[in-house]
Structure 1
Amino acid sequence: MLWTILGWILFGLIAGFIARALVPGKDDIGLLRTIVLGVIGSVVGGLLFGLLTVGLRGFQPAGWIGSIIGAIIVLLIYNKVTGRRNRPRV
């Protein structure tokens, strides 16, 4: 159980960092939000993969590529909702 949780944290961290590197601009969301971004991105990627292939299967995590694509989508939505891109930079 502990190894599963640690695996999800590490997986979310890596997928979140890759998504942040691929989305242009500066994202000051911190380490915890990066992990959450990667984990939610994995679920979103799993849902999208399920819709595109065999139909909706519920909340299932995706592989690396699906997780990164999902994390990019989640990050873009997060930036749009919070208005991070619209603030002037000093």
Structure 2
Amino acid sequence: MARAKVELPSAGSLLALADGEGRLAVRVTPGAKTEGLEIGADQLHAKVRAKPEDGKANEAVRALLAAALDLAPSRLTLLRGATSREKLFRILP
């Protein structure tokens, strides 16, 4: 069975959530049934299928954000929250 295509918010709406230094706060739900990004109450929510073990969920979130922002994953750095659901990424220029 093929996986459904992930609906992602526009890059502009995601960049609007970033602060002046290019930091983006994300609330993550690992082990979800579906993957996606949702904007709610001035916070970004990410759902990924990957389990939170050995950094797999962090990498899945980074790949999802990179796809939504149309950037290479290497341009996103995890600043805080490696073992937390609340993560902070920096978008590198």
TM-score, scaled to structure 2 = 0.27
Greater fraction helix: 1
Higher fraction of strand: 2
